Amino acid sequence: MKSAMTSSPLRVAIIGAGQVADKVHASYYCTRNDLELVAVCDSRLSQAQALAEKYGNASLWDDPQAMLLAVKPDVVSVCSPNRFHYEHTLMALEAGCHVMCEIKPPAMTAEQAREMCDTARKQGKVLAYDFHHRFAFDTQQLREQVTNGVLGEIYVTTARALRRSGVPGWGVFTNKELQGGGPLIDIGIHMLDAAMYVLGFPAVKSVNAHSFQKIGTQKSCGQFGEWDPATYSVEDSLFGTIEFHNGGILWLETSFALNIREQSIMNVSCFWCPPLW
């Protein structure tokens, strides 16, 4: 993709210079001839500098509004903590930029997410979220089978995103104020989105869920390092049921820490009634 009126690359800026900005966004942008990383913004200027120096000569900023006004990028990657997704996304859209916003979740509330979507439409800009499991080969194959009616009626779907001992020991993943929640919005959201995508996003009738905080508040060390139980404020597991107006149900299981045999489970499965041929 290049600018509409010229053959010059699209100019990309990143807000939030953490791990996902490094390993997912900047690393990819720098492999493309049609994209140019021109600015990196983070409240920790040293973090922005480290990312910018790793991938080229992007300018450094600690104020996103000032960066948008001065740099005028075509595209902005919003990689800041979840609490700031709403603010930074609206800021970029209103500055005339397309936005790739990290998920987990898109915003802290459904109302904020709707306003972000409405603003993108009003501005005539693309607002995309990184629900990358939709594009996995198996997800695409299953969606095709459902769309073509091969499976008939799907009446029970299970989405599982479970870790046995996988509390993230870095960043703000265990801080509810900044993150918004635990495994539901970090890993569960991926399998939930994949399941809903496969089903064609059926209309929801009701949602019932229960979250637990049983293991995260105990001192331990897991596959992603140590965490501080004294400051652990998110759920460590959640189980829920979504009932659809078409009569089907979706069962969701997600955890950072749970007494299961496997180290990790990430999948979507379903029961269906085959069509009468």
Ramachandran sector of residue 104 (left: φ over 0; alpha: ψ -120 to 50; beta: rest)? left
| Neighbouring C-alpha atoms within 13 Å toward the C-beta of 136 | 18
Please tell us whether the domain made up of 10-130 is placed in CATH 3.40.50.2300.
Answer: no
Q: In the chain, list all ranges with CATH 3.40.50.720.
A: 10-130
CA-CA distance, 195 to 235, in Å (whole number)? Answer: 22
- Looking at domain 135-273, its CATH architecture is 2-Layer Sandwich (3.30)
194-235: pLDDT as tens digits = 999 999 999 999 999 999 999 888 877 777 778 888 889 999
State yes or no: pLDDT of 191 exceeds 60: yes
Q: Which DSSP letter does residue 37 get? A: E
Q: In the chain, list all ranges with CATH 3.30.360.10.
A: 135-273
C-beta separation of 1 from 25 below 8 A: no
Place of tokens 């905080």: 213
C-beta separation of 237 from 211 below 8 A: yes
pTM of the model: 0.82
* Mean pLDDT of the chain, nearest integer: 92
41-89: pLDDT as tens digits = 999 999 999 999 999 889 999 999 999 999 999 999 999 988 899 999 9
Identify the residue with better confidence: 23 or 92: 92
